[in-house]
């Protein structure tokens, strides 16, 4: 039996209970761990396993070591008619990011748009969780963060940007939200960690070793390549800069090369990382109108899904694959890799 086949499946309710218990034992407050569990389950339900339940092992460790404050006291400062800043108090990033999403929605109800920065935060998992939170409130959402250097620049020989996700979500006229959550690197580095755990080989053209040479060996990988591949990686590298400008430079937080690494044998797990995030909400009611927007999204998505496809292929809207995975996992359970399953006690 392969490692991939050895995954254990759990219901969302059981997984949530076990995640909550592990975070509580590590010292996380009820409110902060609730946000963390919600974000981890968002990813695990939708098939974004690199940012799902497996991250609880890391979060528990940095909570115990002191890098992450287990009982953060969030502070929100309104800085303008449509802007605010959330101080995460060095707690779990999910807690601050969900608060930023709620604040952005409240601001957009008043001003049409709401832009919220987050300071003094930590890793927040899948950016799509916060964009979707905005979409679930009936608005167009955007969420991003920068992270420590892990991705080579286009033509570069050393890591510079982080994997720096950009996530967008929008209500879709009664269906599940239109949802795009993408790393600006070829793949997220957490996928490398997951492939190491599962003993799987990486795809071509996504990773490099310490000399910058392309590799498919997850254990030999020391940096990623930007989205766009060998010829068009300047696009991914440029988009990574968008995340850095909005999340770090705009907030006065650490830029990618200056940020403490998330993981590694010699990593300082006691010092906060000083991460920044950025969340934007746009209220359709203040533009063409909510009804016009909903009708337009229905029309757009119908045209997109009905577009001609190549033989053997299908055309999907952003989010379609994730919602299909969610339905499958509601039926069959959520797969958990062996290492995480042992940590959560699912193997007993």
CA–CA separation, 159 vs 149, rounded Å? Answer: 5
pLDDT greater than 90 at residue 188: no
**Average pLDDT taken over every residue of the chain:** 94
Q: How confident is the model at residue 212, as a pLDDT?
A: 78
Query: Tell me, what's the pLDDT at 2?
Result: 39
pLDDT exceeds cutoff 70 at 330: yes
Using one digit for the tens of pLDDT, what is the confidence trace for 220-233? 999 999 998 778 89
Once rounded to an integer, what is the mean pLDDT over residues 302-322? 96
Looking at residue 45, its pLDDT comes to 98
3-class DSSP assignment, residue 162: coil
- Among 34-43, 166-175, 209-218, the range with the most confident prediction by mean pLDDT is 34-43
**What mean pLDDT is predicted for residues 170-190?**
91
How do the domains of the chain map onto residue ranges?
Answer: 4-300+317-344
Separation CA 229–CA 285 (nearest Å)? 39
* DSSP string for 91-134: --HHHHHHHHHHHHHHHHHHHSEEEEEEEEE---S-THHHHHHH
pLDDT for the residue 160: 96
pLDDT value at position 3? 45
pTM of the model: 0.94
Question: What is the pLDDT at residue 151?
Answer: 95
| CATH number listed for the domain at residues 4-300+317-344 | 3.30.1370.60
pLDDT band, residue 1 (cuts 50/70/90): very low
Q: Where are the alpha helices (DSSP H) in 115-208?
A: 128-136, 189-198
Asked if residue 118 lies in contact with residue 153, where contact means CB atoms within 8 angstroms, the answer is: no
For 233-277, how does the pLDDT look when each residue is reduced to its tens digit (9 = 90+)? 999 999 999 999 999 999 999 999 999 999 887 899 999 999 999
Output the six-digit token pair for 347: 């193997």
Taking the C-alpha atoms of residue 253 and residue 117, their distance in angstroms, rounded to an integer, is: 10
Q: What's the pLDDT score for residue 47?
A: 96
Check if the beta carbon of residue 322 is closer than 8 Å to that of residue 47: yes
């Amino acid at each position: 039996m392969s490692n991939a086949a050895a995954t254990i499946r759990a219901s969302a309710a059981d997984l949530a209970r076990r995640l909550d218990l592990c975070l509580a034992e590590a010292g996380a407050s009820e409110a902060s761990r609730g946000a963390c569990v919600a974000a981890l389950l968002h990813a695990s339900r939708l098939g974004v396993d690199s940012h799902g339940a497996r991250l609880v092992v890391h979060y528990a460790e940095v909570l115990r070591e002191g890098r992450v404050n287990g009982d953060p006291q969030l502070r929100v400062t309104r800085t303008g008619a449509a802007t605010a800043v959330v101080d995460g108090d060095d707690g779990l990033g999910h807690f601050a990011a969900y608060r930023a999403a709620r604040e952005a929605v409240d601001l957009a109800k008043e001003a049409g748009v709401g832009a919220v920065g987050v300071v003094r935060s930590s890793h927040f998992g899948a950016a799509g969780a916060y964009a979707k939170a905005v979409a679930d409130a009936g608005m167009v959402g955007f969420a991003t963060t920068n992270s420590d250097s892990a991705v080579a620049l286009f033509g570069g020989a050393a890591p510079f940007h982080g994997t720096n996700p950009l996530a967008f979500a929008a209500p879709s006229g009664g269906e599940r939200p239109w949802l795009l959550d993408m790393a600006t690197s070829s793949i997220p580095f957490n996928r490398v960690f997951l492939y190491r755990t599962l003993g799987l080989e990486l795809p071509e053209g996504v990773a490099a070793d310490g000399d910058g040479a392309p590799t498919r060996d997850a254990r030999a990988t020391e940096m990623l390549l930007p989205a766009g591949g060998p010829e068009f990686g300047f696009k991914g590298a440029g988009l990574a800069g968008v995340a850095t400008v909005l999340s770090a430079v705009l907030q006065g937080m650490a830029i990618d090369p200056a940020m403490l690494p998330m993981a590694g044998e010699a990593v300082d797990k006691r010092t906060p990382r000083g991460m920044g995030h950025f969340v934007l909400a746009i209220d359709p009611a203040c533009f063409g109108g909510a009804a016009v927007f909903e009708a337009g999204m229905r029309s757009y998505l119908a045209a997109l899904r009905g577009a001609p496809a190549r033989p053997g292929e299908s055309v999907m809207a952003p989010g379609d694959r994730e919602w299909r995975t969610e339905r499958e996992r509601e039926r069959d359970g959520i797969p958990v890799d062996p290492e995480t399953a042992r940590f959560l006690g699912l193997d007993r």
